[in-house]
Amino acid sequence: MGSTASANLSNVKQQLLDLICTDAYKEGDFVLSSGQQSTYYINGKLVTLHPQCGQMVGRVMLDYIDNSVVGVGGLTLGADPIVTAVSVVAAYEGRSVTPLIVRKEAKGHGTQAYIEGPVLPAESNVVILEDVVTTGQSAMKAITRLRAAGYAVNQVISLVDRQQGGAEYYIQENIDFKAVYTISEIQARWQELQKR
């Protein structure tokens, strides 16, 4: 990637961080999907489903994905717009990255499949994408399903790491984990934006 492309990607990453802070991040009293109480909440879908942010998310997350990766997947619903955005951005860059959506329960009709998307060859390198990682359990469900389908799944990339055990859990499970932003970065930037 040339220096102009890198600088441009850096600008996109900063714009995306600001949009997470203004659109997706809220402070208050919340209960997370993990059951944990929290003084803040990040609704990643307000960013990943945003008309301009979708392609930003795709560009930024594609930069974290190795060229050997042929598929990206994740647990519905949070991962759906992300895997789609990454696949579309990859296509514009001349890469083929197949999106795979993992259902929480098998489809009740037709093929009764857990995984939606084109079938890839056995042992294809697939990466799990997430909007927000807390404990890491959601992505693990997707990993289990995709491995059962014969894919090699050894990495999770998240837009946001809440820094509440997910990264440590993945280390225990021997899964590589990367996050575009940590909650510390988001909270620091949110504070800066509040002062304006």
Q: Which pLDDT belongs to residue 7?
A: 67
Closest CA to 77 of 98, 55, 59, 102: 102
Backbone torsion region of residue 185, taken as left when φ is above 0, otherwise alpha when ψ lies between -120 and 50, otherwise beta: alpha
Q: Which pLDDT belongs to residue 1?
A: 46
Across 168-191, b (16+ Cβ under 10 Å) vs e yields ebbeeeebebebbbebebbeebbe
Q: Which pLDDT belongs to residue 106?
A: 76
**What secondary structure letter does DSSP report for 4?**
H
Q: How far is CA 133 from the centre of its chain?
A: 8
Under a CB-based contact definition with an 8 Å cutoff, are residues 152 and 66 in contact?
no
Per-residue pLDDT of the chain in tens (196 residues, 90 and over written 9)? 445 666 699 999 999 999 999 999 999 999 987 788 999 999 999 999 998 899 999 999 999 999 999 999 999 999 999 999 999 999 999 999 999 999 988 766 556 589 999 999 999 999 999 999 999 998 999 999 999 999 999 999 999 999 999 999 999 999 999 999 999 999 999 999 999 8
Q: Which pLDDT belongs to residue 141?
A: 94
Q: Which pLDDT belongs to residue 113?
A: 84
Q: Domains along the chain?
A: 44-182 (3.40.50.2020)
